[in-house]
Amino acid sequence: MARTDEFKSRILAQKTIWAAGAYDALSAKLIEEAGFDALLTSGFGISASYLGQPDAELYTMSENLAVTSNVVSAVDIPVIADIDTGYGNAINAMRTVREFDRSGVAAVILEDQVAPKRCPICVSGVEVIPLDEGISKIEAAVAARQDPNMLIIARTDVIDEAQAIERGKAYVKAGADIIQPISKCFSSIEGLRAMRQGCGVPLSLQVLGWLEKDLSPKEIEEVAGIATFPLVPLMTVATALRENLKVLAEKHSARDLPRPVTNHNDFIDFIGFTQVEELQLKYLRAS
């Protein structure tokens, strides 16, 4: 799949793209190897991996961009970038969109929280910007885009269903290609259907909470152009590392670890040592 043009046409035709959340280049390569259509550079995951801190927009735009650029370089599947609030007002968002566009991402997700944002799945409530300001940020993001195939995904963090649909319609009118509600907003497939129909574009869904527990893949595909498991990779790694490291610290032996570890030779093949060695033999000629 091409990075942008085929990706865009497939989503707008609502042939659902299934993705998983990467937090660095290695996790991105594993997501690609697993066979996902695309991946998301998760702000939650990047904050946890890069800073060891919560998803509260503590990292800067340039730190997020550095991780995302490495991810784009490491894989061939399309990359969806989480750009939070755009790191400021509409003018800041324009620069953010230009920089991520230049990195080669296939889509960006811009949310309407007050900056700095807070992760809505981790706190009781979040504050959103006024609707007029949200519209202006989407218009500014669209104006800043250089690649016409790069999708602008407008995320609204309101939790009232009617308000979410109202904002979704307004953001589509402002130029957004896809609308993303937060998982807390709706509680049934009927609500998601109403948003899909009301906004007139496919939805981007983060498969979390009730969406993960209650909806079938078929129901998700009914409304979503993009369906992402943003946290499963990060939480899988956290559990596996925690269990193995605990035993390793206690026993000082790797012989009886609770989780299997990847074979060394398999990993060096996966990470690309064979290709690097071929290049070394070709270009680093001995004197």
Question: Looking at residues 21-32, what average pLDDT do you find?
Answer: 98
> In the structure encoding, which two tokens stand for residue 103, read together?
């990195």
Among 136-145, 218-227, 264-273, 277-286, the range scoring the smallest mean pLDDT is 277-286
Q: Are 205 and 226 in contact (CB under 8 A)?
A: yes
Task: Domains for the chain: give ranges and CATH numbers.
Answer: 5-237 (3.20.20.60)
pLDDT of residue 115: 85
Catalytic residue flag (residue 122)? no
pLDDT of residue 125: 74
Question: Looking at residues 60-73, what average pLDDT do you find?
Answer: 97
Q: Are 53 and 47 in contact (CB under 8 A)?
A: yes
pLDDT above 50: residue 1: no
Q: pLDDT per residue over 134-193, tens digit each?
A: 999 999 999 999 999 999 999 999 999 999 999 999 999 999 999 999 988 999 999 999
pLDDT above 80: residue 50: yes
Rounded to whole angstroms, the maximal C-alpha distance in the chain is: 72
**148, exposed or middle or buried, with CB in 10 Å at 0-12, 13-18, 19+?**
exposed
Q: Are 75 and 20 in contact (CB under 8 A)?
A: no
Phi (first) and psi of residue 181, to 5 degrees: -85, 160
pLDDT of residue 2: 47
Among residues 119, 122, 185, 199, which one is catalytic? 119
How would residue 55 be classed by pLDDT, with cut points 50, 70 and 90? Answer: confident
pLDDT above 90: residue 99: yes
Q: Any residues with CB less than 8 A from the CB of 137 and at least 6 apart, and which? A: 86, 89, 90, 93, 110, 112, 129
pLDDT of residue 119: 74
How would residue 31 be classed by pLDDT, with cut points 50, 70 and 90? Answer: very high
Helix, strand, coil: what percent of the chain each, to 5? 50, 15, 35
pTM of the full structure: 0.94
How would residue 126 be classed by pLDDT, with cut points 50, 70 and 90? Answer: confident
Q: pLDDT per residue over 186-231, tens digit each?
A: 999 999 999 999 999 999 999 999 999 999 999 999 999 999 999 9
Tell me the pLDDT of the chain averaged across its residues: 94
For the chain, how far is it from start to end, CA to CA, in angstroms? 43
